C-alpha cells in the first residue's frame, strides 16, 4: 500500500532526524573518548597534612575541620574538608596524570575501595612528622597514616586481586607534603615541650630522621615513586606575618631561615635514601623558592594580595574562624595567594601542582 505524499515526506524527515541524532551521539562519544587522557600511572597515593588532606578530618574528633562554607566555594560539590576555596595539589596531579580530578579521602564514607584503586588520601590536617604535633589538635599521626596504607593494600588485594594490587602499589605516584605544623603548631607554639628538648637545629635533625623512617616504611610496603615536598616560606603565611609585630607585619625571616636549613637537610636525606634503597625513585619538591618568587613577583600570576588570606580579615582566620558569616571575605580568590591565614588558594595549588606533576613524570623514566 502506497503512502500519501505528505505522510511519506513526514516519515522520511523522521528517519533523517534519527540518523542525525545518532550521528551526534556517536560523534560526542568519540570526542569524549579522544579527549579523555589515558592514565599515565594506576593511582596517586597521598600522605601528609592540610596541604593535601581532602577530607579525612571530617570524620575524626578534632576541631580542625573545613567541611563548611566558604571553604570549597569554587569547587563543584562545595566544602569537602579541603582547606581551600577549591582543589588541592594532589587533585591537579591526579588529573594531569589521566586519573580522576578529585582524590578521595580514605575515611570518607562516600567512597569505597573501587574509588581508592585510582587514588587515595591518608593525610590529616594538623599532622606532622613528629607524633607530638598530631596530638596538639587530636589529628591522625603519620604512623597511623602508614597503618591505613597497610589496610588499604589488604582491601585492594581483595578488590582487584593480588597481582593487580601489587601493580597499583608499585607503579602509583606517591605525594608527601608534611612538616610545616611541626614548627608552627608545635615547636614555636611552645605547647609540647619540644622547644625545651631540642635546639632548632636538633629538632630539624629529629624531623628529618622521622621523615627517613616514614619513607623507608612506605618503601618496604611497596612504594617506589615518591615526591616529597620541602618546607615553604613558613614565615610568610599571613598568620605569622600578623604575629610578627616587631617585623612590622612582614615575613618572619627567622622562620624562613629555619625552613631553608631544614630543606638542605631533607635533600641530603633524600639523596642518601636513593642510594640505600634499591629501586626507590624519590624526588624533592622545591616549594620554598616558587613561593618566594610569587610573593616577590605577584604579577607573574596576576595576584594582587600575597600577604593576607581571602577569607575574613585574612590575618588570623582558618578552620571555624573562616566561615560564611564573615562579611569581609573577598569576592575573587584568584587575586590572592592565600585562601585563609595559613593555606593557599586553588590558583596557587594549581601552580604548585605543576612542579609535582613534572617531578612525578620524571620518576617514570
Residue 242 lies inside a defined structural domain of this protein: no
CATH code of the domain containing 229: 3.40.50
Q: How far apart, in Å, are the Cα atoms of 149 and each of 59, 134, 220, 223, 291?
A: 17, 18, 12, 10, 30
Answer whether residue 158 shows pLDDT above 80: yes
Q: What is the mean pLDDT of the chain?
A: 92
Residue 273 lies inside a defined structural domain of this protein: yes
- Would you list the DSSP string of 248-278? TTS--HHHHHHHHHHHHHHHHHHHHHHHHST
Q: Mind telling me the catalytic residues?
A: 50, 340, 343
Containing domain of residue 133, as a range?
Answer: 41-235+251-288+346-362
Residue 179 lies inside a defined structural domain of this protein: yes
**Which residue, among 52, 81, 51, has the nearest Cα to 68 in the 3D structure?**
81
Answer whether residue 29 shows pLDDT above 90: no
Residue 328 lies inside a defined structural domain of this protein: no
- How far apart are alpha carbons 22 and 28 in whole angstroms? 10
Residue 111 lies inside a defined structural domain of this protein: yes
Model pLDDT for residues 294-344, shown as the tens digit of each residue: 999 999 999 999 999 999 999 999 999 999 998 899 999 999 999 999 999
Chain centre distance of CA 101: 12
Answer whether residue 126 shows pLDDT above 70: yes
Query: What's the angle, vertex CA 234, arms to CA 106 and CA 216, rounded to 5?
Result: 45
Going 38 to 42 to 48 to 49, the CA torsion angle's sign is positive
Give the model's pLDDT for residue 45: 98
What's the domain count of the chain?
A: 1
Confidence of residue 19 (pLDDT cuts 50, 70, 90): very low
- Whole-structure pTM over 0.85, yes or no? yes
Residue 10 lies inside a defined structural domain of this protein: no
Give the model's pLDDT for residue 326: 86
Model pLDDT for residues 224-274, shown as the tens digit of each residue: 999 999 999 999 999 999 999 988 999 999 999 999 999 999 999 999 999
Residue 333 lies inside a defined structural domain of this protein: no
Residue 275 lies inside a defined structural domain of this protein: yes
**DSSP classification of residue 186:** I
Average pLDDT over residues 159-173: 98
Amino acid at each position: 500500500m502506497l503512502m500519501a505524499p505528505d505522510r511519506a515526506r513526514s516519515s522520511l524527515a523522521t528517519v533523517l532526524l534519527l540518523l542525525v541524532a545518532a550521528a551526534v551521539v556517536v560523534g560526542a562519544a568519540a570526542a569524549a573518548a579522544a579527549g579523555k587522557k589515558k592514565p599515565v600511572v594506576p593511582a596517586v597515593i597521598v600522605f601528609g597534612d592540610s596541604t593535601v588532606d581532602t577530607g579525612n578530618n571530617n570524620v575524626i574528633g578534632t576541631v580542625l575541620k573545613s567541611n563548611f562554607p566558604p571553604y570549597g566555594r569554587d569547587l563543584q560539590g562545595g566544602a569537602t574538608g579541603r582547606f581551600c576555596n577549591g582543589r588541592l595539589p594532589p587533585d591537579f596531579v591526579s588529573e594531569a596524570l589521566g586519573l580522576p580530578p578529585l582524590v578521595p579521602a580514605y575515611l570518607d564514607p562516600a567512597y569505597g575501595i573501587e574509588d581508592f584503586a585510582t587514588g587515595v588520601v591518608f593525610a590529616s590536617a594538623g599532622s606532622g612528622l613528629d607524633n607530638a604535633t598530631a596530638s596538639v589538635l587530636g589529628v591522625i599521626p603519620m604512623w597511623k597514616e602508614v597503618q591505613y596504607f597497610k589496610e588499604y593494600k589488604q582491601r585492594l588485594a581483595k578488590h582487584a586481586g593480588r597481582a593487580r594490587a601489587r601493580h597499583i602499589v608499585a607503579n602509583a605516584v606517591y605525594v608527601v607534603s608534611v612538616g610545616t605544623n611541626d614548627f608552627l603548631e608545635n615547636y614555636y607554639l611552645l605547647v609540647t615541650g619540644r622547644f625545651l628538648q631540642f635546639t632548632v637545629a636538633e629538632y630539624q635533625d629529629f624531623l628529618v630522621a622521622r621523615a627517613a623512617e616514614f619513607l623507608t616504611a612506605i618503601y618496604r610496603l611497596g612504594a617506589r615513586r615518591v615526591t616529597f615536598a620541602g618546607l615553604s616560606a613558613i614565615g610568610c603565611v599571613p598568620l605569622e606575618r600578623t604575629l610578627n609585630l616587631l617585623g612590622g607585619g612582614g615575613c618572619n625571616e627567622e622562620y624562613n631561615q629555619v625552613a631553608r636549613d631544614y630543606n638542605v637537610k631533607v635533600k641530603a636525606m633524600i639523596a642518601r635514601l636513593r642510594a640505600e634503597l634499591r629501586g626507590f625513585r624519590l624526588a624533592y619538591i622545591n616549594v620554598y623558592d616558587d613561593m618566594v618568587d610569587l610573593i616577590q613577583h605577584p604579577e607573574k600570576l596576576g595576584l594582587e594580595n600575597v600577604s593576607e588570606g581571602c577569607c575574613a580579615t585574612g590575618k588570623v582566620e582558618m578552620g571555624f574562624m573562616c566561615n560564611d558569616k564573615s562579611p569581609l571575605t573577598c569576592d575573587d580568590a584568584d587575586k590572592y595567594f592565600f585562601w585563609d591565614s595559613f593555606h593557599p588558594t586553588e590558583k596557587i595549588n594549581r601552580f604548585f601542582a605543576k612542579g609535582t606533576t613534572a617531578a612525578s613524570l620524571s620518576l617514570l623514566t
